[in-house]
Chain A
Amino acid sequence: MTGATPSASSGLYSDVIRDRWRRPRHRGELPGANAVAEDVNPLCGDRVRMMLAVAPEGRITEARFLGDSCAICTASADVVADLVSGRSRGEAAALDVSDVLAVLQAEIRPTRMRCATLPLSVLAQALDGSAKP
């Protein structure tokens, strides 16, 4: 048998996912955050924390995340942070997984869908303030 190396053109991970996994734009602490939530994916133990700085009139001025997570989940969290920055709470809450997938440009298999959706559910928890920080 010949040893096969998964090539960089592997169909599983889009260039967007690779890029955001290697160099996430919004990863890190957000000291002034006033809407924060953290959750885990019970299937794999992935953990994501979303931190939002929300201005008094309800606009999200900045969003950052921290995660112990796979490439899909990390890229998704990074995209979510991108998409909510500058939006109102209501607009952010209306964000759908299809919006995230459109940016990721990837065919996510059913078994990995939770990896893509975890950051969105953490976002929802941060926005409705029900989660403990």
Chain B
Amino acid sequence: MRLDELTRSDFPILQRIVNGRPLVYFDSGASSQKPRAVLEAMNRYYERSHANVHRSIHTLGEEATELYELARDAVQRFIGAPSREEVVFTRGTTDGLGLIAETIGRTLRRGDEIVVTELEHHSNLIPWQLVARDRGAVLKAIPIREDGTLDLDAFDRLLTPRTRVVAFAHVSNVVGTINPVIEIVRRARAVNALTVVDGAQAAPHLRLDMSALECDFYVFSAHKMLGPTGIGVLYGRRAVLESLEPGRGGSEMIKEVWIDRAQWNDLPWRFEPGTPPIAEAVGLTAAIEYLEKLGMDRISEHERALTRQTQEGLARIPGVTVYGPPANVERGAVVSFAVEGLHPHDVAALLDEEGIAVRAGHHCAMPLMRRLGVVGTSRATFSVFNSPDEVSLLLTTVAGLRSAL
């Protein structure tokens, strides 16, 4: 059975009729839909076990704490992290990248260098701009080639003994490029730079293994991987996490406090000030269990087939341009395209009339848009529940668009 046939009935929202047509949801890259298992786990938690974590010495407090910490174990397993102390919960990718930029930022000196790439989401660019400005550091970007892949020769030329951080996306949210994490980490490590990987578009689609990637930090959001909004993960290599002062303060992250100083808590709580997103952690566990039951390899294969069908189908339509690596190169579950004579917003609006949800605009990657020479693109992204029939509908609808405005 195909994955969409197996999973469709698990997603209540797919019953929606939009503009008189069955919803075709091709916007999981912005935020995925949630299977019933996730919704039910969160409801059950609120109905039976909710209390604050860590501080409550009563039955519900213990249950909540246990459920919250079980989520950490689920994430550790899901991403192949060597230990649970390396899994820090955040509010999402943006929060995690901001946290790590601020935290590393405090250790930077004037003239230190930060390397990002031309295809970053603003979440992995702006925090580094702020840090560079505050610390007098230099921000550089690895350029991309015509096909949306990174120019690694140029990367080598950017690396210097002053390079302290290399921050890059695992998978581009616009052109779908899968960046060679292991290779980039190897070259960064050769100059003793820390590596920060934005995994927002990879975690939902690829099997992850932190011990193989060997990056220092890896960040992602639950809401793009069938989980709830409001929680994300910051994985950090233990040795590096231990060497860092916490970037943000509050409860939970301390052991003992005096008026003028405090002793930090152990990992991972040192980086989790305040009441965490507990129900969201429960939902994330359910999402991970759901993905694991389907199997990440099978998910990748299903989404790759849809991606290829879309890419090849769109490329055959006169007046349609497809961005990013060619169809024979592996990419994430993302296809960005343009329809000649139509603005991406109008493409999305016209597709919405047919119940098809795609995203349009700059996708929070304005430097990449400038590099592609466009103001924006239309973008279809895929998840486990999407079917080849839905892709066919997209293709025939796009083919009819040029006469629609």
- By a beta-carbon cutoff of 8 Å, the part of chain A in contact with chain B is 1, 3-8, 10-13, 18, 21-22, 43-47, 68-72, 74, 112, 115
B260 close to chain A: CB less than 8 A: no
Q: Is B54 an interface residue (CB 8 A)?
A: no
B392: A residues at CB distance < 8 A: 1, 3
| Contacting residues, chain A, for B346 (C-beta < 8 A) | 13, 70-72
Interface contact B397-A45, CB-CB below 8 Å: no
Name, among B376, B396, B405, the residue most crowded by chain A CB atoms within 10 Å (CB to CB): B405
User: With A8-B404, A69-B343 known to touch, is A3 a contact of B361 (CB < 8 Å)?
Assistant: no
A43 vs B21: C-alpha distance when bound (angstroms): 27
Q: Shortest beta-carbon distance, A4 to chain B, in Å?
A: 5
Within 8 A of A (CB), among B224-246: none
Q: Can you report 17 A-B residue pairs in the complex whose CB atoms are below 8 A from each other?
A: A1-B392, A3-B397, A3-B399, A4-B400, A5-B399, A6-B351, A6-B397, A7-B404, A12-B350, A13-B349, A43-B361, A44-B360, A44-B376, A45-B375, A46-B345, A71-B405, A112-B345
Please indicate the chain B residues that have their CB under 8 angstroms from the CB of A10 in the complex: 350, 353, 404
Q: Chain A: interface secondary structure?
A: loop
Instruction: Give every chain B residue within 8 A of A13 (Cβ-Cβ).
Output: 346, 349, 405
B192 to chain A, nearest CB (A): 37
Q: Mark B347-365, 1 if CB is under 8 A from A, else 0.
A: 0011101100000111000
Nearest Cβ on chain B to A91's Cβ, whole angstroms: 30
Number of interface residues of B (CB under 8 A): 30
Chain B residues closer than 8 Å to A72, beta-carbon distance: 345-346
Our pick among A6, A18, A45 for the contact of B369 (Cβ within 8 Å) is A45
Contact (Cβ within 8 A) B396 A46: no
- State in angstroms the CA–CA spacing of A22 and B389 once bound together: 33
User: Which residue of chain B lies nearest to A13 when distances are taken between CB atoms in the complex?
Assistant: B405
User: Is B328 at the interface (CB under 8 A from chain A)?
Assistant: no
CA distance A69 to B375 in the complex (A): 8
A6 and B404 within 8 A (CB): yes
- Does residue B403 face the partner (Cβ distance < 8 Å to A)? yes
Tell me whether B345 and A6 are in contact (CB under 8 A).
no
Chain B residue contacts of A18, Cβ below 8 A = 405
How far apart are A44's CB and chain B's nearest CB, in angstroms? 4
Q: Is B401 an interface position by the 8 A CB rule? A: yes
Please judge, given known A-B contacts A43-B361, A45-B362, A69-B343, whether A4 and B375 are in contact too, CB under 8 Å: no
Asked if A5 contacts B376 (CB within 8 A), the reply is: no
Q: Which of A3, A4, A115 contacts B21 (CB 8 A)?
A: A4
State in angstroms the CA–CA spacing of A45 and B363 once bound together: 10
A9–chain B nearest beta-carbon distance, Å = 10
Beyond A5-B403, A6-B404, 16 additional contacts (C-beta under 8 Å) are: A1-B393, A3-B397, A4-B397, A5-B399, A5-B400, A5-B404, A6-B353, A6-B397, A6-B401, A10-B353, A12-B349, A46-B343, A69-B343, A70-B344, A71-B405, A74-B343
